[in-house]
Amino acid sequence: MSAQTHVPSLLSRAGTASVLLAAVGGTMLAPGAVSEAHAQPAAAKALNVAASKKGAPYKYGASGPHRFDCSGLTAFSYKKAGKALPRSAQQQYNRTRHIAASSRKRGDLVFFHAGNRVYHVGIYAGAGKIWHSPKSGQVVRLERIWSRSVWYGRVG
């Protein structure tokens, strides 16, 4: 069988897009969608910025560059990555695209809540850990997520 007669057979069985995708090794996207490779650089950069602030002291209301509260750290980190976030943890939650825990990726925001009230935020670092500025007397650090009362948000 020649390649010319074989290709139409593949196209009719698997669909044109699937065969072309397999042939070129690319990624199939919906029109207007941004691939994960394009969507994640800001998140990766924000995560790196937060990690670079390891040891910076907590200060209520501070948003950097040398002292931070929790939402100040996330806003500062994303600002350095080219994305604007509002000031408070609750406002940041309201502004992000809410995602399931199973969909979380490095650089997503982790929101700690009591009922419907968000009281703390950090940046997901992978392996169940976040970079955050915990509270007065402590410093920016990497820490395991300690609660099940968390929501996740992706900065768009």
Alpha helix segments (H runs only) across 15-87: 16-24, 36-52, 70-80
Residue reference for tokens 């406002």: 91
* 2 vs 128: CA distance, rounded Å: 53
Q: Which of 6, 70, 98, 113 is catalytic?
A: 70
* 143 vs 113: CA distance, rounded Å: 17
- The reply to whether 132 belongs to the active site is yes
- The reply to whether 6 belongs to the active site is no
Instruction: Check if the beta carbon of residue 49 is closer than 8 Å to that of residue 81.
Output: yes
- The reply to whether 66 belongs to the active site is no
* 70 vs 108: CA distance, rounded Å: 14
* 102 vs 75: CA distance, rounded Å: 24
Strand partners, 154: 97
Rg over CA atoms, the chain: 21
Residues with catalytic annotation? 70, 120, 132
